[in-house]
Structure 1
Amino acid sequence: MKNFKESSTSNPLSNFVNCIVFISCLIFGIYIILSLALVPNALLLWQYHSANSVHNSSSTIITSLEHIAFGIAASDKSWSRRKEYVRLWWRPEVMKGCVFLEQMPPISENDRVSLPPICISADTSRFKYTNKYGRRSAIRVARVVSETVALMNNNSDVRWFVFGDDDTVFFPDNLVKTLQKYDHGLWYYIGTNSEYFETNKGNSFEMAFGGAGFAISSPLAKVLGKVLDSCLIRYHGVYGSDARIHICLAELGVSLTHEPGFHQMDMKGNIFGLLTAHPIRPLISLHHIDKLYPIFPNMRSLEALIQLVKAAKADPERILQQTVCYDQLSSTFSVSWGYAIQQWRWNALLRDIIRAQETYIPWNKNENYDVDTQRYDPNPCKRPDVFFFDSVSSNRDGTTSIYKKADRNCTKNKNKIDVIRVSSKKLDLNAKQMQAPRRQCCDVLQSSSSARSSVIDIGIRECGAEELIQMKLQE
């Protein structure tokens, strides 16, 4: 005992260490007890931070076509004809999605490799439909949303769900560019209204029209897919499919994010005036192709679309972008790239040029359109000369597009110009330019002429910091 006491009392450092160890164990034990008591909150906090860290890491990867799933609504009656519109824009090597039909159609080998897969819509007979002006197929089309989401349930790469009709022509590169502006981890419902005021008034100015197409971010689409059927039950008296989707999203507290690059085209006839005054936003979609005149003269509708898509492939973001310039000879040029150029033989006011000409026919008589338009003069001698897109070539320096003069019925027209040649760099808008777009400028360059023809050269470029798009006043 003596030795023990001597050893224990002679080592105060050992006693101090033992005391520290005891206190540490006590504190650790209390921490464990408190942690167990707070496990649910701790788990929720961990899940929150984990979800955010996964989203933040995935957000560093720029959205591409591989991140989009398409749901295309079609019918047995229309698909055999309209599938050619879908074939124009579908890229089977990178796109995912489905065309929804009532039953499986005949599928050729060409269809199998160049069109989306066919999905058969689920039976909707259990749902009531009481709108006497519409068709109950609106229920089946609305459920394309939930069925597409279910189809992609195991695909974690999907950031956006995009929906449209079989006569919706998408411009995929511009769709991607537009969606890159938005955080796919948030709840977004993106699309456009009808051009027809009364249609918007009757539905909602916050409703995206399904023919123009609309996009829903993945987290919102997954929630919508779970609750959509309950909305279909409650809103059996609503007219269309897009109205059902809109009201269900409204119940979730989500409103529409407007993107003017989507186009419903609720009109008939010639849409020249609308296309030549396109908003300063990338062209995303065109709809109602069957109801419209061919957008290029002396072509069928499909041929005309192929012509437009040819230009879009060369410079997707520039397609239909309107540029206005004035030359020294008091002429005014409006270049709607990849589509048409208009030449006024006088100094035309910019405010008039950027307004859409009323070349179309109203869907119904006496309709009011929610579009900034101006009267289309019936006298061809009072209208500008029109040159339509013919061809395009590309190289390292940019693109050269050719526009040829259209036939005119004005016998007083002495304009000798037959061809306009436009040079430009490929348009690649950065994030800031997408958020705050600005119209580009152009210059009328030196022209070449001969006894048989005359050519004008126009160069498109970015405007200077303080540059105005203004007419050249003669001294």
Structure 2
Amino acid sequence: MLKTLNLNPSRLKNLLLILSLLLILYLLFYHHAPPSPIIPRATDAPLTRRHIVFAIASSFQSWPRRKPYIRLWYSPESTRAFAFLDRVVAPGNDSLPPVIVSGDTSRFPYKFRGGLRSAIRVARVVKEVVDRGEEGVRWYVFGDDDTVFVVENLVRTLAKYDHDRWFYIGSKSESYDQNVKESFDMAFGGGGFAISHSLAKVFSRVFDSCLIRYSHLYGSDARVFSCLAELGVGLTHEPGFHQVDMRGSLFGMLSSHPLSPLLSLHHLDAVEPIFPNMSRTQAIERLFEAVNVDPARVLQQTVCYDRLNSLTVSVAWGYAIQVFNGNEFLPDLLSMQKTFMPWKRGVTVDASRYMFNLREYPKDPCKRPVVFFLESIVPDKSGIWSYYTRHKVKECVIPNAIKNLNGIRVFSEKLELDIEEVLLN
């Protein structure tokens, strides 16, 4: 005879608790999350500069004045790059990438009223550089002739990803309005973007047909984005790429840079020099003095508190130091000060909106923090000494602890991020 099992409420409760505990243990020890799209390849040799090919979109008119920017990051001994122009230029020297004249694009339609037909030629740079068949390429990186890359940081960043899988890596615009007009899922070309070699080979075979279908679009990056979307590839966002769809002073952005390594800066001719009393070229050269010594640390923010004098010190390494009177909350210091202006002024309300948190920058210089800009960097056996000099704008009534401070010296060790630390950024 079969006996029925009678469970009173107390025994039923205990049974449910045991089953719940077993389920939790199963989830903890046996359940595996879906694989991350970021997969370092342990079987390959480490990624180096020589595994990356840069393709730079330029023109006969802009090439002469943009050469100083390219010389900052391009090295013929270690960097592989090609500049694509619309016309032949006089032979250059070995300090610049080889110049290639872009192919004829007259057969492709362009229907965006008021736009520039050159967008087709610039977009087709992606196909033309891949079709060259360069050996040993793992990544293709694209930018404009006024895009400045931090190559060592690019190497560290791209090393996070499997180049044999399909990756399209970049960043959206800083401007909310520009993203609305184009796409929040598109890598803006001036800021630079990367495509894995496996994706690039497939992309190059189909891109000409995409150029015909997407003749109504405005820019080159929109054409690349649309064709990649047809292949089922979405954008992998890396915040270190900077389109710089802003005008005026970039101090607020550079002094509160995201934790991610600096990868690129664009539109340098459209903004003020990033260091005072210098030309644009001289100013970016000063920043690259820091880049060449410790690229991973450049612009990384460190905040210190002086309790004795009630001061807050914010260090954007290799660029500037701000000294605030009083104790500032850390979350406030992580927000960018609005020292810049919209890319397109007065068109719509959206033009003055940005894709990051902002805090106001006082109009009265006496209500601002005291700023010290990078003067020099001296590496030695023990580490790196960086020196920052006070920038005086106006005579203000300030505490003696700040008033008598004319320079700041910072000691640091070179920042060497391993793959696990890069993955967290």
TM over 0.5: yes
1:344 to 307, 311, 324: 324
Tell whether 2:357 aligns with 1:372. yes
Tell me the distance in 1 between the aligned counterparts of 2:205 and 2:116: 24
Tell whether 2:424 aligns with 1:436. yes
1:296 to 245, 253, 275: 275
Deviation readout 1:28-77 (Å, 9 max, x if unpaired): xxxxxxxxxxxxxxxxxxxxxxxxxxxx9994201110000111000111
Q: How far did 1:398 drift?
A: 1.3
Question: Match for residue 72 of structure 2?
Answer: 88
1:394 to 364, 368, 379: 379
For structure 2, the 5+ residue unaligned runs are: 1-39
Tell whether 2:343 aligns with 1:381. no
Tell whether 2:212 aligns with 1:225. no
User: What code does the residue aligned with 2:373 have?
Assistant: F
The residue matched to 2:71 in structure 1 has which SS?
helix
Question: Match for residue 421 of structure 1?
Answer: 409
Deviation readout 1:253-272 (Å, 9 max, x if unpaired): 00000000000000111010
Q: How far did 1:411 drift?
A: 2.7
CA contact (8 A) 1:266 1:288 kept: yes
Q: How far did 1:119 drift?
A: 0.3
CA contact (8 A) 1:403 1:420 kept: yes
Tell me the distance in 1 between the aligned counterparts of 2:68 and 2:396: 40
Deviation readout 1:227-264 (Å, 9 max, x if unpaired): 11000000000010000000000000000000000000
User: What code does the residue aligned with 2:111 have?
Assistant: T
CA contact (8 A) 2:41 2:161 kept: no
Q: How far did 1:371 drift?
A: 1.8
2:335 to 355, 374, 385: 355
Q: 1:422 and 1:163, CA in 2 relative to 1: closer, same or farther beyond 3 A?
A: same
Deviation readout 1:420-460 (Å, 9 max, x if unpaired): 110011001111111124xxxxxxxxxxxxxxxxxxxxxxx
The residue matched to 2:202 in structure 1 has which SS?
helix
Moved more, 402-411 or 341-350: 402-411
CA contact (8 A) 2:299 2:317 kept: yes
Determine which structure has more spread, i.e. the larger CA radius of gyration.
Answer: 1
CA contact (8 A) 1:295 1:301 kept: yes
User: What code does the residue aligned with 2:214 have?
Assistant: Y
Tell me the distance in 1 between the aligned counterparts of 2:368 and 2:411: 25
2:123 to 122, 139, 142: 142
Tell whether 2:253 aligns with 1:274. yes
Alignment map for 1:64-463 (pairs within 5 Å): 64-107=48-91, 111-151=92-132, 153-155=133-135, 157-328=136-307, 329-364=309-344, 365=346, 366=349, 367=351, 368-413=353-398, 414=400, 415-437=403-425
Count the aligned residue pairs: 378
The residue matched to 1:81 in structure 2 has which SS?
helix
The residue matched to 1:112 in structure 2 has which SS?
coil
Tell me the distance in 1 between the aligned counterparts of 2:354 and 2:258: 16
Provide the TM-score with structure 2 as the length reference: 0.87
User: What code does the residue aligned with 1:394 have?
Assistant: P
Alignment map for 1:459-470 (pairs within 5 Å): none
Deviation readout 1:303-335 (Å, 9 max, x if unpaired): 001000011111110000000010122100000
Provide the TM-score with structure 1 as the length reference: 0.78
Q: How far did 1:363 drift?
A: 1.3
Tell me the distance in 1 between the aligned counterparts of 2:245 and 2:343: 6
CA contact (8 A) 1:189 1:214 kept: yes
Tell me the distance in 2 between the aligned counterparts of 1:287 and 1:175: 15
Tell me the distance in 2 between the aligned counterparts of 1:357 and 1:243: 30
Deviation readout 1:107-149 (Å, 9 max, x if unpaired): 2xxx321000000100000000000131010000000000000
Q: How far did 1:397 drift?
A: 2.1
The structure with higher relative contact order (CA 8 Å, sep 6+) is 2
CA contact (8 A) 2:320 2:371 kept: yes
Q: 1:388 and 1:58, CA in 2 relative to 1: closer, same or farther beyond 3 A?
A: same
Tell me the distance in 2 between the aligned counterparts of 1:262 and 1:239: 21
Tell me the distance in 2 between the aligned counterparts of 1:378 and 1:388: 20
Tell me the distance in 2 between the aligned counterparts of 1:58 and 1:381: 54
Tell me the distance in 2 between the aligned counterparts of 1:184 and 1:360: 37
For structure 1, the 5+ residue unaligned runs are: 1-55, 438-475
User: What code does the residue aligned with 1:266 have?
Assistant: D
**Structure 1 vs Structure 2 CA RMSD:** 1.4
Q: 1:130 and 1:179, CA in 2 relative to 1: closer, same or farther beyond 3 A?
A: same
Deviation readout 1:383-402 (Å, 9 max, x if unpaired): 10000001111122210100
The residue matched to 2:81 in structure 1 has which SS?
strand
Q: How far did 1:382 drift?
A: 1.2
Q: 1:225 and 1:58, CA in 2 relative to 1: closer, same or farther beyond 3 A?
A: farther
Question: Match for residue 19 of structure 1?
Answer: none
Q: 1:387 and 1:69, CA in 2 relative to 1: closer, same or farther beyond 3 A?
A: same
User: What code does the residue aligned with 1:416 have?
Assistant: N
CA contact (8 A) 1:97 1:148 kept: no
Tell me the distance in 2 between the aligned counterparts of 1:250 and 1:210: 16
Tell me the distance in 2 between the aligned counterparts of 1:397 and 1:268: 40
The residue matched to 1:211 in structure 2 has which SS?
helix
CA contact (8 A) 1:271 1:293 kept: yes
Tell me the distance in 2 between the aligned counterparts of 1:321 and 1:160: 26
CA contact (8 A) 1:380 1:410 kept: no
